[in-house]
Structure 1
C-alpha cells in the first residue's frame, strides 16, 4: 500500500478577515526560499522568493530582514508566523521550522504549519482550476508526492507517494502543478501541466496561516518517506532502574533537561509499586533512561532521556518499546506521554511509534511552550 496522509481541510481564501495584524510567511521546503509579510486579507506588503536547493540556512533570515525593510514595518507588528511543513526537502523543512519557531519565541507570537500541497494549490488562480488541481511534489526518488483538490480547494482523498506511471493512472483531477509536475507530465502528456505554479505561494501560505488554529496546525514536519540515511540502532543492555542506578540516572537526566530530576526525586518515583523503568547501557556507559508507571489500565511515561552525543541511534525508541511491552504485561490498554510542542525531533519519534495528540496544555513549560499530550493504544492481543 502507498503511504497515505489524512487530508487537512482548508477553506477558500477570504476577501478579508477582522484581524488587521501581519502574518510573516516562511517557505524553504522544496527547491526555493520565500519570505512574505502579508495582511490576512491577502495584501502583500513585501515578499522575496529565490531558487535555492541548498544554503537556505544562510539566506532565510537575511531575507526576513530585507522583506521587513521593504515593508517599512517592525517585526514586532507581526501577529503570527506561518511556515511550510512539507513534504519536500528534509533539510529545507527543518531549516524553515527551526527559523519559524525561533522567531515566534522571540516575538512572543504563535507559529502555525501549512503543508506544501495546500500552499501550492491555493496559489493557482480559480480560472485555471475549474475542475480542481493536483499538486505534485518532487521527492528526488522514484515516487512523487501528490494530493488532489477540487475546485473549491478541498482535498480529494489522501496524499500519496507513487511512481509517475502509477500516479498518472490514478489521477482523476488532471490539472497538475508543483515541483514534481514536470516529471509526471513527461510520463503522461495528456495531463494539463501549469508550469508557472511550482512552489508554495508565500501569500497563500500567509492567508492559510491566518485561518489556521495554532492548537491543531502544528509547525511539525510532514514527511511521506523516511530520511535517506538512518543511523545504526544501538546495541543496548536494559537494566531495571532501581536504587543502585539512581545517582547515575540523575546525572544522565541532567544532560537532557534544564530542570532535571535529582536522585531523590527519581528514587521516590521508582519506589512507587506501579512504576517501572530502565537505564540503557551501551558497553559500560549509561546512555539513556525511561521511567513510567501503570496504576490501572492507563500507563504513562514520566520521563525519558538520552545523552546528547548518543541521540539519533534508536536508543529512545528501544526504551519506549520496552515501556510499552511492560505496560501491556501490567494490563494497560493505553500509554500517555507529554512533549514540548517545539521538540520536533521527539514529536516525529512519537508519531512513528503510533502516538497521537490527545490534548494541549497551553504555555505549560517555563519557556512558554505548549505541552502536547500524546496517547497510544496498546494492543492487548
Structure 2
C-alpha cells in the first residue's frame, strides 16, 4: 500500500541537514529553550511577516495559551466551527468557556461567515475560524464582524494551513492571533509534537511567552497562571532543517492539488478552492456517497484514505453538555458522512497520483 503521507521520502531528501541539526543540539546539550528555539521563531517571523512567533509544545497548546493570554474565563463564549479536530473545542472547555458552533460552507467546509453574527452575545470574547484542509476561511469578513462588535479577538486555527496565502498575506498573520501545529503530518512538521503562536500585539506576545513557561516573567517569579508549554530544542532544530525545503514543498503541494482538481473534475465533488487564496492541501478531500464501500474498494487497490472528520463536535459525547449550538448545523452533519481524504505529500509522483485517481474512478463507478 502506498503511504497516506510519505514522511520517509521527505526524510531521505533532508537526511544530512536533519542529522546535522540534531547532532548540533546533542553537542551543546541545551534540550529545553536552546538557541534553535529562538532561531526557529525568528525564521518563522520572517516567513509570515508577523511581529512575534512564540513556539509551544503543540498546536493544541498554541490554542490554549492564546485563549489564556486573552483572559478567557469561565462563562465566556468562543464562536467556532463544529467541523474540525476536537482540539478546537477542547481548549475552550478546559478554561470553563463555552464553544458556540455555527455551520460551515458546503463547498469549502470552512466556517460560514454569514452565520457568525447571529451567534454573538455579550459573552462572546473570541471567534476561532479553522483553516480546514489547508485553506484559510474568509478572514477579512470575520475580522470585520469582530471589529463591529467591539473587543472580540480572532484566532485563526491554522494547524493545517501554515504556508497558505490569503489575499497576499500568509496564514497565521491574518488576525489577532494565528496558531499552527508542527505535528509530523502537517505541511511543516517536526518529528514529535510542536506548534507556534503568531501575533502583532506586543502584550499578547508577552503573555504567551510567560504562560508557556509556567507563567514566569523571570525565573521563579510567576506573574500569571501558566502551563508547561515549551517546544523542545530538537524539534525546533528539525523544523529549521525542513524550512530550507519548505518553499519547494509549497510549490509541489499547489501543483498536486491543481492536478487532483483537474483529474477529478466530473468524477467526484471536491472541496472548493477560492480564487483569492491558496491551500496547503494538508489533506486533499473529496465528497463521496457510500463512503465505507468506496474506502473498502480503495484499500483493496492499495490506496489508503482517511476521514477528517466523521463526527462533528456538537455530537461528540464529551462535549454535548458544554457547547451552545447557533442555528442549524446540517451542512456539518452532511459533510461528516461524505468527506474522504486521499494521499498527498510533497514527494507524491505523477504516476502514483494517476493510480490513486484511477482507483477512485473505479471505486465510485455506479
- For normalisation by structure 2, the TM-score amounts to 0.25
User: Which is strand-richer, 1 or 2?
Assistant: 1
- For normalisation by structure 1, the TM-score amounts to 0.25
